[in-house]
Amino acid sequence: MPRGFLLHSRPYRETSVIATFMTDTDGRIDLLLRSARGVRNKKFQPILPFCLYELSWIGKGDLKHLQYFETIDGAIELSGSALFCGFYLNELLYRLLPQHEPEQVLLRAYSLALQQLAADSNAEPVLREFELTLLEALGYGLDLLKDKSGVTLEPGCCYLFIPETGLSRELPDAAIVQASPRAVIGQAEYFLAIARRDFSTLEVRQLAKAVLRAALSVYLGSRPLRSRELFR
The pLDDT of residue 37:
55
Q: What predicted TM-score, i.e. pTM, was given to this entire model?
A: 0.90
Contacts of 227 by beta carbon, 8 Å cutoff, 6+ apart: 84, 87, 88, 90, 91
What structural domains and CATH numbers belong to the chain?
3-138 (2.40.50.140), 158-220 (no CATH)
Residue-by-residue pLDDT tens, the chain, 232 positions: 899 999 999 888 777 889 999 999 999 999 998 765 555 555 557 789 999 999 999 988 788 899 989 999 888 999 999 999 999 999 999 999 998 888 889 999 999 999 999 998 789 999 999 999 999 999 999 999 999 999 999 999 999 999 988 999 877 665 555 656 788 999 999 999 999 999 999 999 999 999 999 999 999 988 888 887 766 6
Contacts of 173 by beta carbon, 8 Å cutoff, 6+ apart: none
Per-residue 3-state assignment (H helix, E strand, C coil) for 65-80: EEEEEEECCCCCCCCH
40 to 37, 43, 71, 212: CA distances (angstroms):
8, 9, 22, 44
227 to 81, 83, 148, 224: CA distances (angstroms):
11, 10, 32, 9
- Taking the CB of residue 84, how many other CB atoms lie within 10 A of it? 17
The pLDDT of residue 176:
57
- Taking the CB of residue 155, how many other CB atoms lie within 10 A of it? 9
What is the distance between the alpha carbons of residues 16 and 39, in angstroms, rounded to a whole number? 10
The pLDDT of residue 43:
55
94 to 34, 39, 45, 65, 78: CA distances (angstroms):
21, 27, 23, 19, 19
The pLDDT of residue 180:
67
Query: Coil, strand, or helix at residue 55?
Result: strand
Contacts of 143 by beta carbon, 8 Å cutoff, 6+ apart: 166, 167, 195
Taking each helix axis as running N to C, give the angle between helix 202-220 and helix 188-195, from 0 to 180 degrees, rounded to the nearest 10: 70
